[in-house]
Chains A and B, each alone.
Chain A
Amino acid sequence: MRIDCHNHCSEVSGRWPSVDDVVAGMERVGIDKTCCSHPVTTADPTPEEVRQANDDILRCMQRFPDAILGQCFVNPGYVRHAQDEITRCVVDGGMSGVKLYNQYRIDEPVQFPIIERCIELGVPVLMHAGHPTTDDSIPNQPRLSSGEHFVRTARRYPEAKLICAHIGGGGDWEWQLKALREVPSVFLDTSGSVIDQGMVERCVRDLGVQRLLFGTDMNLARSVGKLLAARITERQRERIFGLNFSELLQRQHA
């Protein structure tokens, strides 16, 4: 069973790939389910924009109920609306978790009500993340969540199911591993375009295989390929490809 914990889609191709293309890609590489969100990537998306984005995912879930698991995107700055969206999409709409982008860092107080609600519901929070190292890349995402930000929040909420997004998303992935070693409750997804030799093996060594979740973030060949190439055992590969995330989702219903 292969479950992609981090992907994006839309009913119609545009900022995000069409759900038809996503499902076709899944079939070609043998992915059984994929967890999709439709983040609005502007600095301060309005409640209406957020609602439309989540409606889009709900429609994709309806079209491909066996393949598409939804993630509810929220803008934590609109506190009331964010809570209402979680109710509408996760509690009533059957989405599997919450997706946060870079409007706020994971350790900012505005995130706390979201995290507390997800703890209450037992659902994971997938947080966009990275640790860019250079002056030309840092200003692009001033509120990007880095490993140390996850450490602060995970210490405050050790029961939260936080997922640090895309270890291969660009930036210093070794820094991310150093930080995440300190907080065993945080999961890490393996997606992203960076396919440095040894990356997956280092994740297994430093965090333990139980904390790793397969994700593609629209990088199908790279994300599947690096897991297939990694020098790990077949049992470890199986855990990362789907077993860990499957257990994480089951726990939310327990």
Chain B
Amino acid sequence: MGDEMIYDADMWIGHWPFQALPYCSATDLLRQMDVHGIEKGLVGSLHGLFYKDSHEANRELARELKHRRDRLVPCAALNPTYYGWQEDLKQCCEEFGMPVLRLVPDYHGYSLSDDVAAEITEAAHGLKMRVALVGRIVDPRGRHRLDPGREADGAVVAAFLRKFPSSSFLMLNFADPPERRRWDEPACCFDIVRFVGGGGRRLQTLIAKYGADRLLFGTTLLMRYAKPTALALDLCDLRKRERECILWRNLAALVPGIR
């Protein structure tokens, strides 16, 4: 990818309780980013998804990335069924400088159709935070039996998005067929990590059909290799501006705090 600017919308650090990961730390992530020419990215805590009090993970993340903010931008994850999330969210935004709230309902024991999901989203929007929905963390075909994560239900996600017709969302690790309704929702931007399959043409087809302004570069580092996603993008025949939009411009527009 050479000297191009690349922002990654979908990165994680930490341990995953059901599978040993070879790289876990912020330092590891920076090394991987250097290998793949990724300048900056949005980062969440993997093991923090399992904390009863998820805000403790936000504190950890803020601490670990404090001196790396030029490249690693921490994302909040909060459980809207847990006491005191309102104050915690405020602290994430105002004190920790987290510009994004990632919602992970399966790991926090609620559904996007529950009122609490809409409440925390409204609160995040009130604080000018961007909300990210996560299609899945791991491939369900190989998940551990104790892993509560599932593939996000398309109908539930679509119904949730309709509650916020004027808001933009980050859609991370989704892999819906383009015919599905979500593509028609206004201002949802999808990371491309799950659109890289097939013989190399799927991503190209999606870009041609829906435009480069709906897609974000995202790899799920440190959980997965980054090279397949980068390679898939390289295989697309894109104009310079389209490529820049996917590589960094779209994310910079959605999350100005990353710059």
Contact = CB atoms under 8 A, between A and B. Distances in A.
Interface of A: 17, 21-22, 24-25, 28-29, 130-134, 136-137, 170-174, 193-199, 201, 218-226, 228-230
A24 B139 CA distance: 29
Contact of B141 (A21, A171, A219, A220): A171
B69 interface: no
Interface of B: 19-23, 35, 139-145, 196-201, 221-232, 235
Contacts of A194: 139, 142
B142 A170 contact: yes
Nearest to B141: A170
A198 B199 contact: no
A218 B23 CA distance: 28
B231 A170 contact: no
A137 B141 contact: yes
- Counting from the closest, the 4 A-B pairs by CB-CB distance are A225-B228, A229-B227, A170-B141, A221-B232
A134 B143 CA distance: 7
8 contacts: A29-B200, A194-B142, A195-B224, A197-B21, A221-B228, A221-B231, A224-B228, A226-B225
Q: Is the interface of B mostly helix, strand, loop or mixed?
A: loop
Contacts of B222: 197
Residue from B222, B223, B231 with most neighbouring chain A CB atoms (10 Å): B231
Contacts of B145: 133-134
B200 A133 contact: no
Given A136-B140, A194-B139, A221-B232, A229 B226 contact: yes
Nearest to B32: A197
Contacts, number: 106
B58 to A, nearest CB: 24
Contacts of A29: 200, 231, 235
B209 to A, nearest CB: 18
A131 B142 CA distance: 8
Contacts of B224: 195-197
Contacts of A17: 198-199
B19 A196 contact: yes
Contacts of A193: 139, 197
Contacts of A172: 142
B44 to A, nearest CB: 16
A48 to B, nearest CB: 28
B19 A21 contact: no
A219 B197 contact: yes
Contacts of B232: 221-222, 225
A197 B23 contact: yes
Contact of A195 (B141, B144, B225): B225
Contacts of B23: 197-198
A198 B222 CA distance: 10
Contacts of A28: 200, 235
Nearest to A175: B142
Nearest to A24: B199
A133 B143 contact: yes
Given A137-B141, A196-B224, A219 B198 contact: yes
Contact of A198 (B21, B144, B200, B229): B21
Given A132-B142, A133-B143, A229-B226, A197 B22 contact: yes
A134 B231 contact: no
